[in-house]
Chain A
Amino acid sequence: RSHAPDRSHAPPARGHAPAGDVTARAGRAASFERAARGWRWRGPSTSCRRSTPPPCCHLATSLPLPAERDHLRPRIDLIVFIIDIKSKYSLKNVEASLAYVDASFFLGKVCFLVTGVGRVNNCSIEMNAIWKLRDVYCSPVLLCELEVERIQATTAQRLLRMLQICAGHVPGVSALTFGSLMRSSADD
Chain B
Amino acid sequence: MQRRQSSKHSKHVHDSNQTDLSAWRKERSIDTEKTVQNQQSPSDDSEHNSLEKALRFFEKVQDRVSLKKSEVLQKHLSTVESIGLQRGLPPEAFDTLLTVALSGKLADTVNTRLLKSLVPASVIPETSVVSSVSWLCVSKCTGSIQLLFLRWLITMFDFIDRKEQLHALYGFFFSFLYDDKLCPYACHVLYLLTRKENVKPFRVRRLLDLQAKTGMQPHLQALLSLYKLFCPELVNITLPGKSKTYFKNSEAPWKAAINTVRRRNQANSPVSQALCLGTAQPQSRKRKWNTQLIVPVSSANAQNLVGNREKNCVDLYSTIESFPVEQLQTFTQLLENIHCLEFPSQMGSVLANPLLLHYMNCIKDESIYLRLYYWMGQTLQEECTWCVVENNQYEQEFKDFLEIIYKAECFLQEGFSSCEEFLCRSLPLWDGLCCRSQILRLVSWIPLSSFSEMKSQICDPLAQLFFTSSLYFKCSVLECLKELLQNWLNRHVVQLDSESDNQFHSLNTTLSGLVNGIAELIHFVGWISTVALRLENNCTFLLYFILDFYEIVCDMYLKYNLPLLIMPPAGVFYPALLSMDSVSLNHLCYIMYRYRANLVAAKENELNKKKTQQFKFSSQTYQEYNQYIIAMVGCLWTSSAFQKDDHPQGVRLDEELLKQTGVQEFKNSFNIVYHPAMMGYAILFLQQACPDDTTFNFSLIKGKKWNWYLEYLYAQGLKGLKLFVESSINRVSQASQNKAGNVEV
State the A residues within 8 Å of B (CB).
44-46, 117-120, 140, 142-145, 147-148, 150-151, 154-155, 157-159, 161-162, 165, 170-173, 178, 181-182, 185-187
1/0 per residue, CB under 8 A from A, across B504-525: the answer is 0000000000000000100010
In whole angstroms, what is the CA distance A47 to B469 when docked? 22
Judged by DSSP, the binding face of B is: helix
Asked whether B534 lies within 8 Å of A170 as measured between CB atoms, the reply is: yes
In whole angstroms, what is the CA distance A16 to B459 when docked? 41
Given A148-B392, A185-B459, decide whether A158 and B386 contact each other with a Cβ distance below 8 A: no
Asked whether A46 lies within 8 Å of B387 as measured between CB atoms, the reply is: no
Asked whether B537 lies within 8 Å of A140 as measured between CB atoms, the reply is: no
Asked whether A142 lies within 8 Å of B468 as measured between CB atoms, the reply is: yes
Asked whether B469 lies within 8 Å of A161 as measured between CB atoms, the reply is: yes
Q: Name the one of A118, A165, A170 contacting B389, with C-beta atoms under 8 angstroms.
A: A118
Asked whether A145 lies within 8 Å of B470 as measured between CB atoms, the reply is: no
Asked whether A143 lies within 8 Å of B429 as measured between CB atoms, the reply is: yes
Asked whether A45 lies within 8 Å of B539 as measured between CB atoms, the reply is: yes
The minimal Cβ–Cβ distance linking B580 to chain A, given in whole angstroms, is 11
What residues on A are CB-neighbors of B91 within 8 Å?
none
User: Which residue of the partner chain B has the closest CB to A143?
Assistant: B429
Asked whether B460 lies within 8 Å of A185 as measured between CB atoms, the reply is: yes
What residues on B are CB-neighbors of A140 within 8 Å?
464
What residues on B are CB-neighbors of A170 within 8 Å?
534-535, 537
In whole angstroms, what is the CA distance A140 to B464 when docked? 9
Asked whether B388 lies within 8 Å of A150 as measured between CB atoms, the reply is: no
Q: Name the one of B387, B460, B531 contacting A120, with C-beta atoms under 8 angstroms.
A: B387
Within B428-454, which residues are at the interface with A (CB < 8 Å)?
428-429, 431-434
The minimal Cβ–Cβ distance linking B572 to chain A, given in whole angstroms, is 15
What residues on A are CB-neighbors of B387 within 8 Å?
117-118, 120
The minimal Cβ–Cβ distance linking B423 to chain A, given in whole angstroms, is 15
The minimal Cβ–Cβ distance linking B184 to chain A, given in whole angstroms, is 19
Given A161-B468, A185-B456, decide whether A154 and B534 contact each other with a Cβ distance below 8 A: no
B463 within 8 A of partner (CB): yes
Asked whether A117 lies within 8 Å of B429 as measured between CB atoms, the reply is: yes
1/0 per residue, CB under 8 A from A, across B455-499: the answer is 110011001110111100000000000000000000000000000
The minimal Cβ–Cβ distance linking A36 to chain B, given in whole angstroms, is 14
In whole angstroms, what is the CA distance A150 to B470 when docked? 15
In the A-B complex, the 8 residue pairs with the closest CB atoms: A118-B389, A186-B459, A158-B468, A117-B429, A154-B433, A151-B431, A154-B431, A185-B460
The minimal Cβ–Cβ distance linking B481 to chain A, given in whole angstroms, is 12
User: Which residue of the partner chain A has the closest CB to B391?
Assistant: A118
Asked whether A154 lies within 8 Å of B464 as measured between CB atoms, the reply is: no
User: Which residue of the partner chain B has the closest CB to A188?
Assistant: B527
Asked whether B455 lies within 8 Å of A187 as measured between CB atoms, the reply is: yes
What residues on B are CB-neighbors of A154 within 8 Å?
431-433
Given A147-B389, A154-B432, A173-B534, decide whether A186 and B464 contact each other with a Cβ distance below 8 A: no
What residues on B are CB-neighbors of A143 within 8 Å?
428-429
Show 11 residue pairs from A and B whose CB-CB distance is below 8 angstroms, ordered by the A residue. A44-B537, A118-B387, A120-B387, A143-B428, A154-B431, A158-B432, A165-B535, A170-B534, A181-B463, A182-B468, A187-B455
A-B CB pair tally, cutoff 8 Å = 82
Asked whether A186 lies within 8 Å of B386 as measured between CB atoms, the reply is: no
In whole angstroms, what is the CA distance A117 to B433 when docked? 15
In whole angstroms, what is the CA distance A170 to B388 when docked? 36
Asked whether A145 lies within 8 Å of B431 as measured between CB atoms, the reply is: yes
The minimal Cβ–Cβ distance linking B227 to chain A, given in whole angstroms, is 31
User: Which residue of the partner chain B has the closest CB to A159?
Assistant: B468
In whole angstroms, what is the CA distance A185 to B459 when docked? 8
In whole angstroms, what is the CA distance A148 to B432 when docked? 14
The minimal Cβ–Cβ distance linking A160 to chain B, given in whole angstroms, is 9
Asked whether A186 lies within 8 Å of B463 as measured between CB atoms, the reply is: yes
In whole angstroms, what is the CA distance A120 to B428 when docked? 13
How many residues from B make CB contacts under 8 Å with A? 31
What residues on A are CB-neighbors of B537 within 8 Å?
44-46, 170-171
In whole angstroms, what is the CA distance A117 to B520 when docked? 30
Given A170-B535, A178-B467, decide whether A145 and B459 contact each other with a Cβ distance below 8 A: no
What residues on B are CB-neighbors of A144 within 8 Å?
431
In whole angstroms, what is the CA distance A186 to B534 when docked? 18
Asked whether A155 lies within 8 Å of B431 as measured between CB atoms, the reply is: yes
Most buried by A among B428, B431, B536, B537: B431
What residues on A are CB-neighbors of B463 within 8 Å?
181, 186
Asked whether A186 lies within 8 Å of B431 as measured between CB atoms, the reply is: no
Asked whether A148 lies within 8 Å of B389 as measured between CB atoms, the reply is: yes
User: Which residue of the partner chain A has the closest CB to B536?
Assistant: A45
Asked whether A117 lies within 8 Å of B386 as measured between CB atoms, the reply is: yes
Asked whether B524 lies within 8 Å of A186 as measured between CB atoms, the reply is: yes
The minimal Cβ–Cβ distance linking B271 to chain A, given in whole angstroms, is 35
Given A142-B464, A148-B392, decide whether A118 and B470 contact each other with a Cβ distance below 8 A: no
In whole angstroms, what is the CA distance A172 to B386 when docked? 34
In whole angstroms, what is the CA distance A27 to B36 when docked? 44
Asked whether B433 lies within 8 Å of A181 as measured between CB atoms, the reply is: no
In whole angstroms, what is the CA distance A173 to B520 when docked? 24
Asked whether A181 lies within 8 Å of B467 as measured between CB atoms, the reply is: yes
Q: With contacts A157-B469, A185-B455 known, what are 20 further pairs, Cβ within 8 A?
A: A45-B536, A46-B537, A118-B386, A118-B389, A142-B468, A143-B429, A145-B386, A148-B386, A151-B433, A154-B432, A155-B431, A165-B535, A171-B537, A172-B534, A173-B534, A178-B467, A182-B464, A185-B460, A186-B463, A187-B456
User: Which residue of the partner chain B has the closest CB to A149?
Assistant: B392
User: Which residue of the partner chain B has the closest CB to A187?
Assistant: B455
What residues on B are CB-neighbors of A46 within 8 Å?
537
In whole angstroms, what is the CA distance A31 to B537 when docked? 31
Given A46-B537, A154-B432, A185-B456, decide whether A145 and B467 contact each other with a Cβ distance below 8 A: no
Most buried by A among B469, B531, B535: B535
The minimal Cβ–Cβ distance linking A97 to chain B, given in whole angstroms, is 23
User: Which residue of the partner chain B has the closest CB to A155?
Assistant: B431
Q: Name the one of A151, A162, A165, A187 contacting B386, with C-beta atoms under 8 angstroms.
A: A151
User: Which residue of the partner chain A has the closest CB to B521?
Assistant: A186
In whole angstroms, what is the CA distance A44 to B429 when docked? 29
What residues on A are CB-neighbors of B428 within 8 Å?
143
The minimal Cβ–Cβ distance linking A168 to chain B, given in whole angstroms, is 13
The minimal Cβ–Cβ distance linking A115 to chain B, given in whole angstroms, is 11
The minimal Cβ–Cβ distance linking B688 to chain A, given in whole angstroms, is 30
User: Which residue of the partner chain A has the closest CB to B395?
Assistant: A150
1/0 per residue, CB under 8 A from A, across B382-422: the answer is 00001111001000000000000000000000000000000
What residues on A are CB-neighbors of B433 within 8 Å?
150-151, 154
What residues on B are CB-neighbors of A181 within 8 Å?
463, 467, 531
The minimal Cβ–Cβ distance linking A163 to chain B, given in whole angstroms, is 10
What residues on B are CB-neighbors of A182 within 8 Å?
464, 467-468
The minimal Cβ–Cβ distance linking A188 to chain B, given in whole angstroms, is 9
Most buried by B among A45, A119, A145, A178: A145
In whole angstroms, what is the CA distance A120 to B389 when docked? 9
Asked whether A186 lies within 8 Å of B535 as measured between CB atoms, the reply is: no
The minimal Cβ–Cβ distance linking B584 to chain A, given in whole angstroms, is 15
The minimal Cβ–Cβ distance linking A45 to chain B, given in whole angstroms, is 5
